[in-house]
Structure 1
Amino acid sequence: MARPVIAITGPERGAFGPRFCVALAVRLYGGIPLQLRPSQREDKHVFDGVVVTGGHDIDPVLYAAEPEVHPRYDQERDQLEMAIIEQALSKRLPLLGICRGAQLLNVSRGGNLWQHLKDHRANTSHRWTVLPLKTLCLEPTDSLLGRLLQSKHCKINSLHNQAINNLGKGLQVVARDLDDIVQAVEDPGYGYLLGVQWHPEFLLFLSRQRRLFKALVAAAHKQLASN
C-alpha cells in the first residue's frame, strides 16, 4: 500500500526542532516527510498533503498593509509557502498550517493579521512558552478541530507575536484564547484544511495534539488512494 508524501515547509536554514518533530509525527502515522526549502521553489514536487511550519513574521506586503513592527522577514520563504499553499488548495490536498503557517493560510485566502499582539492582550501573558500553559477555548460548533481535540478547553503553548485578524474567504474561527484572539481556523467545506496558532509538534506527548497529524496523514492517504 502506497504511503502518502507530506510536504513540510520551512526556512532555508535552521528550524531543526520543528522540522524534526513534524517529520516524526508524519512517520509515526505512516506518511513520508518531504522537507521543502526556499531554494527549491522552482522545483517540481509531488506530495499528497502539506504542513506549513512556524517561524518569522509574514511580510505585510502580502496583505497590502504597512509594517507596524520591524522584525526580520523571510520573503523567499513567504514566496515558497504561498506557492505550496496555492498548489495544495488547487488540488484540495490536506493542509495543516502551524503558527505562521496558519497566518499565511489566512492571508492566501485574502485575510489579514494583527501585527503586534501585545497591544491586544489583557487576560493572558505575552510571554512565549513551548509548554502548554495557555488555555484554548473551542467555539461551540461541530468542527474538525473539536472532533480531534475532543474537549471544549485544553492547554496549548504560545510562540507567536502576530495572529489572524480579518478572516480569509471560506475560513471560520473554531478556537480562541482567553483574550478572544483567534487560535484556530478551518474551512468546513474543504475536508482537512486547518490552521492552528500554537505548536502541536512540540506537544506530541499529548495524544490529542498527535491527532492533528494522524488525521492529516489519514486524509492524505485517502487522497492518494482516490487518484
Structure 2
Amino acid sequence: MQSPRPLIGVTVSRRSGWRIFPLVAFNVWMAGGRALRWQAGREADIDSVDGIIIGGGDDISPDLYGGRIVTSARLDPGRDALERGLVLAAFERSKPVLGICRGSQMLNIALGGTLHQDAYATYAASNHMRTVLPRKTVCIEPGTRLAGLAGAGPMKVNALHTQAVDRLGAGLRAAAHDTGGMVQAIERVEEPFALGVQWHPEHLFYARRQMGIFRALIAAAKARREHVAQLPGIDALR
C-alpha cells in the first residue's frame, strides 16, 4: 500500500550529509512527507520519489556555467553531475523541486543560469555574515509565490553561502533579495513547482514562515502523485 506521506529524495554532501540529512528529514516529516537520503556514489532513482530537495554544502564548479574558478572553492564534481541530472529529470517528469542554498544555485544552473563565484565581492553593500542564526534580512518580492507562502514582509534568515545567482535560468524569477541587492530566492513561474532559497530553512523549523516552504513542497508532491496541477494547490496554502 502506498504511504499517505509523499516521498522526497534529498541530496546531501558526502562530507556533511550525516548531520544535515536528519534535520532536513525532520522538516519534511513536520510538513507531511518522508525523506530519502541521496548522495554522489549511491543510486538516486527519480522515479521512486514524489519530489526532490537539492541540499546545501559544497560550491558548484564553474565548469557547469562557464565561470571562473576561485581558489577558495571546495568542489565535488560527482555531486554536481548527480544534482544537475536530478533537477532536469524532475522537470521532465513534472516533479517538484526545492533547492536549499547550493541547491538554489543548482536549480538556476540546471535551467541555464549562471552564478557569482564571489558574491560578496560583487555585492559590496550586502551584509556578509556566516551564521545559522536568523540575523540576515531578506526582502521578498511582492506578488511572488514565496510571498504567498511566507508572507511579504522582510524576513530574518541565516546565511552560510559565498556564491549567489547571477543570470537567471529559463522560466525562473527572483523572489527575494537581501538589503544589498543580492538574489536570495528564485522560483519557477510555471508547472512544476520549483523554489530555491539561498538560506537554510531546515535550521529554522520553529519559524512558521520557514515551514511554509516545506509545506509547499509536500503539497506539490501530493499533487504530482495524484497527477493534478501543483501550483493551484500551493496558492491555496496562502
Task: Pick the TM interval, shorter chain.
Answer: over 0.9
Q: Please list, as runs of the form range in 1=range in 2, the aligned pairs for 1:1-227 lying within 5 A after superposition.
A: 2-41=4-43, 45-140=47-142, 142-226=143-227
Q: List runs of 5+ in structure 2 lacking aligned partners.
A: 229-238
Moved more, 63-72 or 157-166: 63-72
DSSP 3-state at the match of 2:41: helix
Q: CA deviation at 1:42?
A: 6.7
Q: Is the 8 A contact 2:139 2:178 kept in 1?
A: yes
Amino acid at match of 2:32: G
Moved more, 206-215 or 112-121: 112-121
TM-score normalised by length of structure 1: 0.93
Q: CA deviation at 1:52?
A: 0.5
Moved more, 202-211 or 17-26: 17-26
Q: RMSD of the TM alignment (CA)?
A: 1.7
- For each residue in 1:11-59, what CA deviation from the matched residue of structure 2 results, as whole angstroms up to 9, or x when unmatched? 2242333311110011122212111111124767511011101001100
Which has the bigger relative contact order, CA under 8 A and spacing at least 6? 1
Amino acid at match of 2:64: L
List, as ranges, runs of 4+ consecutive aligned residues in structure 1 with deviation greater than 6 Å: none
Q: For residues 155 and 138 of structure 2, what CA distance do their matches in structure 1 show?
A: 5
Between Structure 1 and Structure 2, how many residues are aligned?
226
TM-score normalised by length of structure 2: 0.89
Amino acid at match of 2:62: P
Q: For residues 123 and 63 of structure 1, what CA distance do their matches in structure 2 show?
A: 25
Q: List runs of 5+ in structure 1 lacking aligned partners.
A: none
**Percent of aligned pairs with the same residue?**
39
